[in-house]
Amino acid sequence: MAGLWGLPTNCLQQHGLHHSSPVLRQSGCFAPIDGQARQALRSVGVRQPGSHSRRTQQVEVRAVQQQPEPAQANPAENAPNRQGDSEASSSDNGAAPPAGLQDKIGVRVRVRNMHKQYKTKEGLFNAVVDVDVDIAPNKIVALLGPSGSGKTTLLRLIAGLEEATSGSIFFDDEDATNVPTQERRIGFVFQSYALFRHMTVAQNIAFGPRIRKLDVDIDKRVDELLELVELPGYGKRKPNQLSGGQRQRVALARALASNPRLLLLDEPFGALDPQVRAALRASVKEIIHRVGVTSILVTHDQEEAFDLADTVVIFNRGRVQQVGSPEDVLRHPVNPFVMHFVHDVNQLRSNALFVKRMGFKTQKPMVMFKPSDVRILTQPPPPELQRRYLPATIYDRINARTMLYYFLRFDDGLNIEMHVTPEKELELDLEVQQRVYAQVKPMHFMGYTPEEIDSTPLI
């Protein structure tokens, strides 16, 4: 399997580009490999085992791990709709997948009773705890959670870059728990692009199929992939002649070149500026769905996860908290952690006057609700509804472009936040220092304890 930089993942593992894994140590490296691949490996300081002294077997890979050189000045790239970065180009290209990728090639991934522990000075750290996840073929699944929640560890377990403490991983009906990474047919896309700087775009894309000696017309495959990622004619360019968005498209093409049945994306857009990131997300989603490869995305960016994914898996402290479509997770969070993690929330003590007036009761010490669930009247409510509203004063306003943030202060000094659309703001004709009457329906409250929303890793 061509992994990071188009190299077989077992080679990357052996040479320190990932943490060591007993599953991978048993596998051979650089075989079979042709002259061009060998020359490329030597150019980045990687030598074949046995070709040098024991002392030099600690391979220096710093040259590979460095970020690509800054893009050279290129007038064409400064145009408003430069190819590979514009949102308009992503929606108009109907290029078909390469011949070898035309059929849906995605695999169904099932994770069962998965546990992963690490030994630390403080004791055993449970990175993944009793995880069961089903990933449908040909879909994009996002693993989302705070730092240390277990999402990246699960990705590495699925890739074979970590050995499970216990549990099983199935690809369709095959038990892949102990299958070497290079036999899992996985493609990787990472934040750093990791392209060979001395190679052209075409050579980077062709590197995986060439060292794997795939029985395909490699030049034709490269041309088709360049069409697919909307970079036709870019094959002779070097990585330092590309923008960040274009480099990430090349990285995606390289990952698809070896016919992976599973694509793993680890923070793939983290190095891009927000405008390019948003445009590239839409294009990548379309490409992945067109090819039909099962894809797993790990990201800290919630907007990215909910925009790209067909299914979102929320993690905390090594455990799965909720699995569902982006719409379902956002509309129906199943517990306080998920609600607190995926939404801005107001947090009040459960005995606050506003909570009591709204008719919400709980035994828990705290309650939360979304600012978008606050409703207001600009005139006093009729007598029969007065018990369900509480008067407040608008004391501040923030314009967040697509949403307006208003801050309300009740007469007892309690503050809450309210979000309204620009259209709703015009309808209500709101002003700072205006007197309003606020309401949140009981169904929108959720009681919680501080421990229920804590994401501090446990040891």
Task: Measure the CA–CA gap between 139 and 157, rounded to whole angstroms.
Answer: 19
Query: What residue spans define the domains of the chain?
Result: 4-8+96-108+137-331, 346-450
Taking CA atoms, 324 is separated from 235, 329, 332, in Å, by: 40, 6, 10
Q: Would the CATH topology of 4-8+96-108+137-331 be identical to that of 346-450? A: no
- Mean pLDDT for the stretch of residues 360-368: 97
For all residues of the chain together, what is the average pLDDT?
Answer: 81
Task: Measure the CA–CA gap between 459 and 125, rounded to whole angstroms.
Answer: 5
**DSSP result, 195-237:** --TTS-HHHHHHHHHHHHT-SS-HHHHHHHHHHHTT-TT-TT-
> What CATH code would you report for 346-450?
2.40.50.100
**Cis (ω within 30 of 0) for the bond into 268?**
no
How many secondary structure helices (H) and strands (E) does the chain include? 15, 18
Question: What is the largest distance, in Å, between two alpha-carbon atoms of the chain?
Answer: 90
pLDDT at 117 over 70: yes
What is the reported pLDDT for 106?
Answer: 85
Whether 157 and 116 have beta carbons less than 8 Å apart is answered as yes
Candidate from 1-5, 316-320, 396-400, 444-448 with smallest mean pLDDT: 1-5
Pairing of strands 311-316, 294-299: unpaired
Place of tokens 């090594």: 318
Q: For residues 402 and 31, which has the higher predicted lDDT (pLDDT)?
A: 402
Of the pLDDT bands very low, low, confident and very high (cuts 50, 70, 90), residue 459 is confident
Pairing of strands 375-377, 435-439: antiparallel
What is the reported pLDDT for 98?
Answer: 62
Task: Measure the CA–CA gap between 105 and 313, rounded to whole angstroms.
Answer: 22
Describe the strand order of the beta sheet including 294-299 as a list of residue ranges: 186-190, 262-266, 294-299, 140-144, 311-316, 319-324
- Three-class secondary structure of residue 134 per DSSP: strand
- pLDDT tens-digit readout, 70-107: 444 443 333 333 444 443 333 344 555 665 555 556 89
- Three-class secondary structure of residue 55 per DSSP: helix
What is the reported pLDDT for 350?
Answer: 98
Task: Measure the CA–CA gap between 45 and 53, rounded to whole angstroms.
Answer: 14
367 bridge partner residues: 348, 447
What is the reported pLDDT for 103?
Answer: 53
What is the reported pLDDT for 349?
Answer: 98
CATH topology of domain 4-8+96-108+137-331: Rossmann fold (3.40.50)
Residue 455's Cβ-count burial label (10 Å; 0-12, 13-18, 19+) is: middle
Calculate the CA 62 to chain-centre distance: 26
What is the reported pLDDT for 457?
Answer: 85
What is the reported pLDDT for 97?
Answer: 63
Of the pLDDT bands very low, low, confident and very high (cuts 50, 70, 90), residue 157 is very high
- Name the region of 41 (left: φ>0; alpha: ψ -120 to 50; beta: rest): alpha
pLDDT at 293 over 50: yes
Whether 104 and 261 have beta carbons less than 8 Å apart is answered as no
- pLDDT tens-digit readout, 41-66: 443 333 333 333 333 333 333 333 33
Whether 307 and 281 have beta carbons less than 8 Å apart is answered as yes
pLDDT at 369 over 70: yes
Secondary structure letter of residue 2 according to DSSP: B
What is the reported pLDDT for 267?
Answer: 87
Task: Please state, for a pLDDT cut of 90, what percent of the chain lies above it.
Answer: 59
pLDDT at 432 over 70: yes
- Three-class secondary structure of residue 84 per DSSP: coil
Please name the helix (run of DSSP H) or strand (run of DSSP E) that holds residue 135, with its range, or none: strand 123-135
Please name the helix (run of DSSP H) or strand (run of DSSP E) that holds residue 90, with its range, or none: helix 87-92
